[in-house]
Amino acid sequence: MTVLTLNKNEDLYALQLKRKRDLFLSFFSEFTKDLDYFSSPISNFRTRAELGVHVNDSINFTMVKNNKKIFINTLEICDEKINNIINLLKKYVTDKESIKEKLFQAEIQVARNGEGMVSLIYHKSLDTNWIEDAQNLSSKIGVSIIGRSKKQKLVIGKDFVTETYKVKDQTIEIDLYEQCFSQTNPYICDQMLSWVHEREDPSSHVTELHCGIGTFTALLSNIFSKVLATENSRPSIKALKKNLENNFITNVQFARMSGLETLEALNKVRVFNRLKHVNLKSLKKDVLFLDPPKSGLDSLSLDLIKQLNFKEIIYLSCGFPSLKSNINNLLSDYYIEKAAFFDQFPFTDHLETGVILKKRVTT
């Protein structure tokens, strides 16, 4: 049996950080000198883990590395509470047949306030025996338990944890819902939010695409006068609504729409009933906030963005190759004012990048 223990290594971290910083500089230093870098803690920074489950006489958790199943003992990149939960699950689930039978995946989400939830995913229907044992398990471990199988979701406790992000001298509380995308490194998310906060302009409007559950939407509502936020995921839109209500935010209008659909609506290419509650004529094209998937924006979306003539674009990206391609496309109409590298994913090759683009003035 191969056992994986991911240990912190300061020298390795410094090496990979330099490699990613050099890659960041190789592209952006040509365009601006206003460049920032934000490093991550090297251990216990990740607050979510998705694990395979190996059930025999006992229960073990696995990950895949180089196409091989690896058994997990300790994940030092993960929050200490995740490691505690893993050990407690091993201890309490081994003799609970209703919990371990046909269990094939576990997803663990925690917050820095100590809250946690565990999603247990099955190839079977869950019955009253499972509910009783899951209630006992939740009580012993001190976390919410969510059981999921085909067309079934049972919640013991609640299906979210509440993360508090630190932004300058403020805090933002966001409920991170099960099955919704959320930032996995809250320490770097603090830095990203603070970096965006520097763009504060209380007189401006902002349009946000791919808003998710509202982590950045909540911030944008504080620094701009009006926000239009769109997101294509139904669960994320439901979570966004609750997060806006919890934070008493009233200057955000939102709709379930893709980024492309939103741009088509703003360009009057198409009319959508999902936007009938929004007065698009009154929405000023001041700032466009982009946080697309790793694949970036397609060529049609980029063309529509340029036609809309936003004064400023704030672009956050977890896909550096797609970001470079998108930026090169936008440079015909915009220039790069500043950029930042956030080490969201230490010990990987992934770069999280923020870019501020300003509209070129034509004479």
The residue length of the chain stands at 363
Q: Give the Cα separation of 231 and 211 in Å (integer).
A: 5
**What DSSP line would sit under 207-254, residue for residue?**
EEES-TTSHHHHHHHHHEEEEEEEES-HHHHHHHHHHHHHTT--SEEE
Asked if 210 and 293 touch (Cβ cutoff 8 Å), the reply is yes
C-beta contacts of 329-334 below 8 A and 24+ residues apart: 329/299, 329/302, 330/302, 330/305, 330/306, 330/357, 332/306, 333/306, 333/309, 333/359, 333/360, 334/358, 334/359, 334/360
Q: Give the Cα separation of 262 and 267 in Å (integer).
A: 9
Q: Give the Cα separation of 171 and 219 in Å (integer).
A: 10
Q: Give which of 110, 96, 43, 105 is closest to 69, Cα–Cα.
A: 105
Give SS3 for 343.
coil
Sequence-distant (6+) residues with CB within 8 A of 139 are none
78 is catalytic: no
Query: Could you tell me the CA-to-CA distances from 163 to 5, 43, 113, 114 in Å, in that order?
Result: 27, 19, 7, 9
Give SS3 for 119.
strand
3-state secondary structure string across 321-338: HHHHHHHHHHCCCEEEEE
| Angle ∠(123,128,130) on CA atoms, nearest 5 | 50
The single residue of 208, 261, 264, 352 carrying the catalytic annotation is 352
The single residue of 180, 189, 211, 318 carrying the catalytic annotation is 318
Give SS3 for 171.
strand
198 is catalytic: no
**Token pair for 179:** 């099955």
Residues noted as catalytic: 318, 352
